[in-house]
């Protein structure tokens, strides 16, 4: 029986913003997107683990590619791309009070604050587990196991929703029910198959 519904943030509750910003930068500055991604990837990982700020990440991108905007300016721009996926928030409202709700998300510390402020996340979710605060990220099994321990539940009582298949596969290996998010209608159907009804 499902007792806990666990959500990722980016790509499930909120539109992904990092990759669209890189696409914008590539288009506006006539850069190769793959070069931009490959350069930024190790620094992005450091942001997700709380080892570097978002502005520092964008400073490195700005300096390396000789961009006109500073790291702080680029970091401010990404906030314009934080768009809620409204139907999924509607599901969260329906589930609240019927199930325990949690967040398990790879997110830098600055972006945590901005997401929590913009979307009032702690109003809806009992527990918030972030990679940059816990110094571990998906698909590391320790991240999921920490959630189970902190919430005092067993894997089979949980369902985890993420848009990245590798993250869902890691949860399933631990016995957590997993749903790869594609769109709101598909999510509703997959939750229903697990006995989690949404109108």
Contacts of 179 by beta carbon, 8 Å cutoff, 6+ apart:
159, 160, 161, 162, 168, 187, 190, 191
Q: Does domain 4-15+83-193 sit in CATH 1.10.1060.10?
A: no
Parts of the chain with a pLDDT under 50: none
- Judge whether 64 and 39 are in contact, CB under 8 Å: yes
What are 123-157's pLDDT values in tens digits? 999 999 999 999 999 999 999 999 999 999 999 99
Domain boundaries, the chain: 4-15+83-193, 18-81
**pTM as predicted:** 0.95
pLDDT of residue 24: 92
- Judge whether 138 and 114 are in contact, CB under 8 Å: no
pLDDT of residue 90: 97
What are 25-36's pLDDT values in tens digits? 999 888 999 999
pLDDT of residue 80: 84
- β-pairing verdict for 100-105 and 127-130: parallel
């Amino acid at each position: 029986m499902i007792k806990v519904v666990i959500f990722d943030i980016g790509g499930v509750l909120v539109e992904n913003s990092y990759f669209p910003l890189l696409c914008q930068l590539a288009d506006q500055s006539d850069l190769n997107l793959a070069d931009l991604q490959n350069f930024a990837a190790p620094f992005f990982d450091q942001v997700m683990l709380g080892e570097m700020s978002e502005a520092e990440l964008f400073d490195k991108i700005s300096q390396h590619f000789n961009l006109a905007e500073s790291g702080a300016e680029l970091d401010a721009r990404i906030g314009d791309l934080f768009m809620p996926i409204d139907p999924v928030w509607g599901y969260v409202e329906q589930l609240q009070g019927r199930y325990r709700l949690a967040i398990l998300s790879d997110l830098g510390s600055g972006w945590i604050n901005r997401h929590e402020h913009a979307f009032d996340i702690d109003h809806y979710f009992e527990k918030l587990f972030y990679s940059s605060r816990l110094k571990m990220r998906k698909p590391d099994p320790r991240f999921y196991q920490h959630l189970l321990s902190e919430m005092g539940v067993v894997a089979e009582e949980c369902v985890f929703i993420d848009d990245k298949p590798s993250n869902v596969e890691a949860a399933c290996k631990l016995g957590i029910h997993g749903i790869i998010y594609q769109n709101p209608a598909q999510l509703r159907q997959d939750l229903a198959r697990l006995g989690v009804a949404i109108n």
